């Protein structure tokens, strides 16, 4: 998860909370004096971080685009996440994973990480040669989730899927041609969803390595969903089933800023993934 900078309130605030010592320097626009900026600066000062006043044009230049909300930070890399095996050994309850095959757009990856964090997924796994790494754009879109969701880049995705099967993790891929709906599967146990980019879907070898292929029902004229939306449909269906089965519990309201309102009743219909 190495990168040299973060920008936007969410991304930097999560780093301030989880690994403040990795923040070397925070630049902020002193002309922005609203409550959100004041609160942000107070947290940065409490963490003992070095603050530098920089006008918007300078921050634009440092970040490379104007969507920084007036704040950016130079950071040191986070410690490299340990191996998938070591990570799963420490997971409590049935693992819930998201595998992305060929998703190279940083905005899509950032949104997928945000969804994964929202459902409490235990990790996102991608092939090293067919994925975007965690960069500043991904971190901004992820709104801090790139700091909290373990992200693994593997040399061979199909081989990793086989290793997950050895742990009795059900590998579920999405496909337009599948006859089963995502809502037909028991997802209350260990499960890893595999989704591909919306233009191609998952690759043939990846598809053949899955235990099950499912579709997300589409009721309108649109033929496919953005991969991050499809990820949300799949992951939240798994969470719904886990809550109903008692294999997952929502945190107390005081432990989360906005706990998701997830019905334990089966939905009537939902959209479809590529």
Which of 239, 200, 243 is CA-nearest to residue 100? Answer: 200
Percent of the chain with pLDDT over 70: 89
* Count of Cβ atoms closer than 10 Å to residue 83 Cβ: 10
* Count of Cβ atoms closer than 10 Å to residue 166 Cβ: 8
Considering the chain, what is the average pLDDT of its residues? Answer: 85
Which of 189, 258, 263, 270 is CA-nearest to residue 234? Answer: 270
Q: Are strands 23-28 and 71-75 parallel, antiparallel or unpaired?
A: antiparallel
- DSSP calls for 235-246: HHHHHHHHHHHT
Q: How far apart (Å, rounded) are the C-alpha atoms in residues 72 and 15?
A: 12
Q: Which residue has the tokens 């089966």?
A: 266
Q: How confident is the model at residue 263 (pLDDT cuts 50, 70, 90)?
A: very low
Q: Which helix (H) or strand (E) holds 250?
A: none
Radius of gyration (Cα) for the chain, nearest Å?
20
The two structure tokens encoding residue 115 = 């969804």
- If you ran DSSP here, which 8-state letter would residue 201 be given? B
Q: Which helix (H) or strand (E) holds 186?
A: none
Classify burial at 2, counting beta carbons within 10 Å of its beta carbon; exposed 0-12, middle 13-18, buried 19 or more.
exposed
Instruction: Tell whether the model's pLDDT for residue 76 goes beyond 80.
Output: yes
Give the residue with greater pLDDT, 114 vs 257: 114
Lowest mean pLDDT among 19-23, 120-124, 239-243: 19-23
Instruction: Tell whether the model's pLDDT for residue 265 goes beyond 50.
Output: no
- DSSP calls for 225-237: --HHHHHHHHHHH
Which of 234, 191, 233 is CA-nearest to residue 210? Answer: 191
Beta-bridge partner residues of 53: 28
Q: How far apart (Å, rounded) are the C-alpha atoms in residues 34 and 38?
A: 6
- For 45-73, the pLDDT digits (tens) are 999 999 999 988 899 988 887 888 999 99
């Amino acid at each position: 998860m190495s990168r040299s900078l973060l920008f936007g309130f969410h991304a930097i605030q999560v780093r301030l909370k989880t690994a403040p010592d990795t923040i070397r320097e925070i630049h902020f626009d002193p002309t922005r004096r609203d409550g959100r900026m004041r609160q942000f600066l107070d947290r940065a000062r409490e963490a003992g971080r070095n603050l530098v006043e920089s006008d918007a044009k300078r921050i634009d230049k440092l970040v490379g685009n104007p969507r920084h909300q007036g704040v950016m930070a130079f950071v040191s890399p986070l410690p490299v996440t340990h191996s998938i095996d070591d990570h799963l050994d420490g997971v409590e309850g049935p693992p819930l994973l998201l595998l992305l095959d060929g998703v190279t757009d940083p905005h899509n990856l950032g949104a997928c990480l945000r969804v994964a964090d929202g459902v409490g997924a235990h990790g996102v796994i991608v092939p090293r040669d067919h994925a975007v790494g965690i960069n500043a754009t991904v971190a901004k879109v992820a709104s801090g989730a790139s700091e909290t969701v373990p992200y693994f880049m593997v040399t061979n995705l199909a081989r990793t899927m086989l290793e997950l099967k050895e742990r009795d993790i059900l590998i579920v891929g999405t496909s337009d041609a599948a006859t089963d709906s995502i809502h037909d599967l028991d997802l209350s146990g260990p499960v890893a969803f595999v989704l591909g980019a919306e233009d191609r879907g998952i690759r043939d070898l990846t598809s053949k390595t899955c235990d099950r292929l499912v579709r997300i029902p589409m009721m309108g004229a649109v033929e496919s969903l953005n991969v991050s939306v499809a990820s949300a449909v799949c992951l939240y269906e798994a969470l719904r089933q886990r809550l109903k089965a008692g294999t997952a519990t929502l945190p107390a309201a005081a432990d989360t800023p906005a706990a998701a309102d997830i019905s334990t009743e089966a939905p009537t219909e939902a959209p479809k993934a590529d």
